[in-house]
Structures are given as C-alpha cells and as structure tokens.
Amino acid sequence: MVFTMTGKNRAKIIAFIFVMGVWWIFSFIYPPLVVPTIPSVCMKIFEIFTHADLLQIIPVTVLRLVTSLALGTLSGFAVGFVCGISRILREIIEPIIGVLQVIPPVALLILAILWFGFNGKPAIFITVMAISPTMAISVQHGILNIDPNLMEMGRTFRLKKRSVFFNILIPSIRPSLASGWRISLGLACKTIVMGEVLTTPTGIGGALSQARMNLEPETVIAWTVIILFIFYLIDRITKRKPHA
Amino acid sequence: MLEINTFSKIYSEKELRVLDHISLQVHPSEIVVLTGPSGCGKTTLLHAVSGNIRHFEGTIKTTFNKIGFVFQEDRLLEWKTVLENVTLVAQEGKRDRAMELLHEVGLEGFENYYPRDLSGGMRQRCAIARALFYGSDILLLDEPFRSLDHKLSREMLKLIHKIRTEEKTAVLFVTHDIDEAVLLADRIIVLTKQPAKITAQLQILTNVEKRNPDSRKSLRYKEQIISLLEE
C-alpha cells in the first residue's frame, strides 16, 4: 500500500515537473503575450489572494458551482433512480436524456439568457443541464447492475424498504455514483466558468472576460489554476474512502 | 406447518418442467431433508416456499410466519462487517445473540472482518449465522455445507439440531450428501430426475444423538437412498 501511494505521488510529481518544464521552455520561445512566464502567473495568483476585491470573486463562482452541483446531482439521481427501477419510465425518459446530452450548452445558454437575463442564473442553468444527464445515466447503470441475489436476500429476510435502500441499493451503486460524480464535477467546473464568461461580469468567468479584454494571459492562467484548485478541493472533500 | 400440494414448476422460456406434482408437509420443529439428482428442482422448491418464485402450479400453504434461508451462495454484503451482515436481518440490535451465534459457527474474533477477508467456508458460516439470527419459524437450507470441511459440517449439523430443539424451528434442508441427510433428518424425501417427483420418503427413527453414518442402520438407509437415486 505504502509503495503504491509513493508510486502514485512520484508519478504526479513527474507529471507536474514535465508540464512546468514544457511551459518554461515555451515561455522562452514565445513572447509573454502568447505564453506568459511562470513567475508572472505566480505573482498574479498571489495578487488575487492578497486583494480583497479580487478574492471575493472566488466565492461567487464557488456558490454557483455548489448550487449547480446540488441541483444537477439531485435531479440526476432522482431521474436515474426512477429509470433504474421502472422499465416503462426508462423507455420514456432515456430518449430525453439522449437529446439533452447532444444539445450544445451554448444553445441552451442563449435560451437561458432570454429566460433569466444577464446574471449568474444562465450559468447555473446550463451547468445543471450538463451534469444532470451524466448523473442520471450513472445512477441508472448502477441500479441495473445491482446483484439480484442481494435484493432477493433482502426480500427473503423481509428487510424494510429503507433498509434495502441504505444497506443494499446505495452501497451497490456507489462505484457508479462515484464515477458519475467525478465526471459531473469536472464538467460543472468547465461549464459554470463558460456560462459566466458569456453571461455575467461577475465570478471567475467575469474576471476571465475582463482579462481577455485587457490582453492579460497571465491573469487567464492564474484564474484557471484557481478553478483547478477548486476542483481538486471539492474532489478531495467529497471523495470517500472505500470501506476499511 | 408447511403444506405443499401438487406443486409443479415449468420454466416457460425453456419449456422446461422441473418439478411435477410434488406434495409434502413439514411440521413444526421437524427436519425434512430433500435429496435428488442435480438440477431436479430442489432449489426451485425452496425458492417457491420462501416466496421468491411466485408463478407455479399447485399450492403452498404455511402457518410459519418467518422463513429463514441459507442460500447456496453466501449473499453477504461486501461493505458490511461480519457482525453487521448478521444483525442486518433483525429489527432490533440483539448484539449479544449475534455474538453468541458467531461463536457457535466458529467466527468469534472475526466479527469486525469484512467478507473479502474470509475464506469461502467462513463466509458460508457467516450466512448460516445470519439465517439463525433471523429467528425463523422454518429454516430453508440449500446445500449450506458445500464449502465446509468434514469436521465443520458435522459441527454445523449439531448446531442445526440445537436450534431445532431450543427454538422449535422447522427445517427444510437440501443436500446431495447422503451422510449429511442420514445424520440430520427426521424424514428424507428422495426426488427423481427432471421432471422431479417424490420417489420415496424415509422416516429416520434413530435418536439424533446416537446416529453414526457408519452404523448398520445408517448404511441401510444410505443403500436405500443410493438405489433410489440410481433408478
């Protein structure tokens, strides 16, 4: 176990050094306007974390992200659950999920602007619409793959529905839930910022828009690093250790 | 009492008739052993009694309220410890009773282990403890000692007898092991090959305590069963 962890950490460090090395080389080849230097990006991150007016941008996006994740995962779970337990509902809902997966988020964004106006709501809306089908498919897949012998055991010993739900169903679909959640989290981080860039001057997306207009690539990369950090943080908080 | 009348089961997708007009009774605190060729439908009958198979011909009537089951596979929850797997099936905690049963099946000290850390035999003993903990009026056992060694399977037979005596639990037990059948049963029901019918019912009159698989009486029973199975 210790060797595996060390190996994993070593691989991460090598990957990090590789990316930094490539970036460093490119920053020598290209001008700072195309590829900003590593120190300039570090300075920008430092500036964001030390200036209250810049720092307060982060919670705006985090709040939208958390709201989207809560709504998207809950609605996705509910839809996936009913699709998993009812064949008729699955046949009705599955094509709708398929359509939702194909619709470009930008098309939905335009409609959302018409419905909600230029504020954070369109970004939340398209993020929910992006992650909900992913979660629904994951939950449905998990439920359809539950070991029928375990469900039969539950029925034989007359377990209450609540007990079957928490002791058999949820633990059985946990691997599908975990992969659905991880994909949704990545998707949500990308979509929320894209939505903000196109619909609102607030949040990290708004700051990226501002940086684009001011031709500040180091600011763009600094905010991107912060988004990565937010992803990593939420991922770590929500990652549950497998049973001992 | 459990009363099965003219029970037949046809698997319509394969047009396969596995059991044909089976009628039998199991009385309170009676141990009935079902034996017969592989695939003759013994497991199907147990699943019909437990309510897991609902479509069949004939009737199954029972006054037994709680039906416990030791399946062929252990069907343990991998994410629960041994103790949690056992206590899962009862509403109230009764941890002491669960610990006592784990001791009886030889899993004392393993209560906090996960099923993946146990051998096949230990997993099966955990499943047996779970079924006993359920406190059933009738216990259905489907080849429960397949993965146990000789000594352990004899100990488990004694435990089944003990539960029957102390808790007046009826037992319907499926096995291919004729020694096991002779040592355990009050009555042995021998089934024919598919579509299975009851070919004979043997009442074992020897006191359980005095049974020996190598005694003359036991050998006679065994010869009788073998000849019935070979017909």
| DSSP-derived 3-state class of residue A28 | helix
Q: How far apart are CA B38 and CA B24, in angstroms?
A: 20
Backbone dihedral region for residue A202 (phi beyond 0: left; psi -120 to 50: alpha; all else: beta): beta
Q: Max CA-CA distance within chain B?
A: 50
Q: Tell me if B77 and A152 make a contact (CB, 8 A cut-off).
A: no
CA dist., res. B170 & res. B24, Å (int)? 14
CB contact under 8 A, B71 and A167: no
Order of strands across the sheet that contains B2-11 = B16-26, B2-11, B57-62
Query: Checking DSSP bridges between strand B67-70 and strand B138-142, what pairing results, if any?
Result: parallel
- Of B219, B189, B192, give the one whose Cα is nearest residue B203: B189
pLDDT in the model for residue B196? 83
Confirm or reject contact between B176 and chain A (CB < 8 A).
Answer: no
Quick one: pLDDT at residue B200? 85
Residue-wise pLDDT for A82-138, tens only, equals 999 999 999 999 999 999 888 888 899 999 999 999 888 999 999 999 999 999 999
Percent of chain A that is helix, strand, coil (3-state, to 5): 85, 0, 15
**Cα gap A121→A108, rounded to integer Å:** 12
Helices A203-213 and A57-85 cross at an angle (nearest 10°) of 130
B196: helix, coil or strand? strand
| Chain A interface disruption, residue of B73, B85, B88, B132, most A CBs within 10 A | B88
Distance CA B171, CA B114 (A): 29
Helices and strands (DSSP H and E) totals, chain B: 7, 9
DSSP conformation class of A168: I
Contact of B113 with chain A, judged by CB distance below 8 Å, is answered with no
Interface mutation target, options A146, A152, A156, A241, chain B, most CBs of B under 10 Å: A156
Report d(CA B78, CA B118) in Å as an integer: 11
AA identity, residue A36? P
Asked whether the beta carbons of B180 and B148 are under 8 A apart, the reply is no
Q: What CA–CA distance (Å, rounded) separates A13 from A142? A: 34
Candidate from A150, A155, A244 with C-beta closest to B77: A150
Given a cut of 60, whether residue A243 has pLDDT beyond it is no
Q: Quick one: tokens of A74?
A: 């809950």
Q: Does B11 touch chain A (CB under 8 A)?
A: no
Interface check B79 vs A, CB under 8 A? yes
The pLDDT of residue A126 is 95
Q: Are A164 and A154 in contact (CB under 8 A)?
A: yes
For position A244, what pLDDT does the model report?
44
Contacts of A148 in chain B (CB under 8 A): none
- CB interface of A with B, residues 81-140, below 8 Å: none
Question: What Å distances lie between residue A237 and A192, A243, B152, B195, CA to CA?
Answer: 20, 16, 46, 58
Where is pLDDT greater, at B74 or A7? B74
- pLDDT tens, A185-212? 999 999 999 999 999 999 999 999 999 9
DSSP3 helix / strand / coil % (chain B, rounded to 5): 35, 25, 40
Query: Terminal CA-to-CA distance of chain A, rounded, Å?
Result: 13
| pLDDT at residue number A6 | 64
Integer Cα distance of B71 and A182 in angstroms: 37
The span from the CA of A181 to the CA of B113, in Å, is 29
Q: Is the Cβ pair A243, B79 closer than 8 Å?
A: yes
Contact residues, chain B, for A167 at CB < 8 Å? 77, 80, 88
CB pair distance less than 8 Å for B88 and A163 = yes
Smallest CA–CA distance from B75 into chain A, residue? A150
Does the pLDDT at position A40 exceed 80? yes
Cis amide bond preceding A104, omega within 30: no
Q: What single string gives the DSSP state of each residue in B199-210?
A: EEEEE--S-GGG
Element at A119 (helix H, strand E): none
* B146 interfacial to chain A (CB closer than 8 Å): no
For residue A1, pLDDT over 70 is answered with: no
Give the closest of A150, A155, A171 to B52, CB-based.
A155
Query: A141-183 pLDDT, tens per residue?
Result: 999 999 999 999 999 999 999 999 999 999 999 999 999 999 9
Q: What percent of chain B has pLDDT over 90?
A: 50
In this complex, which of B68, B71, B77 lies closest to A167 when CB atoms are compared?
B77
Q: Each residue of B86-100: pLDDT tens digit? A: 999 986 768 889 999
* ipTM confidence: 0.90
| Cα separation, A193 vs A55, whole angstroms | 16
B72 touches chain A (CB under 8 A): no
Residue B195 near residue B19, CB atoms below 8 Å? yes
Check whether B46 has a pLDDT greater than 60.
Answer: yes
Residue in A149, A156, A163 closest to B50 by CB = A156
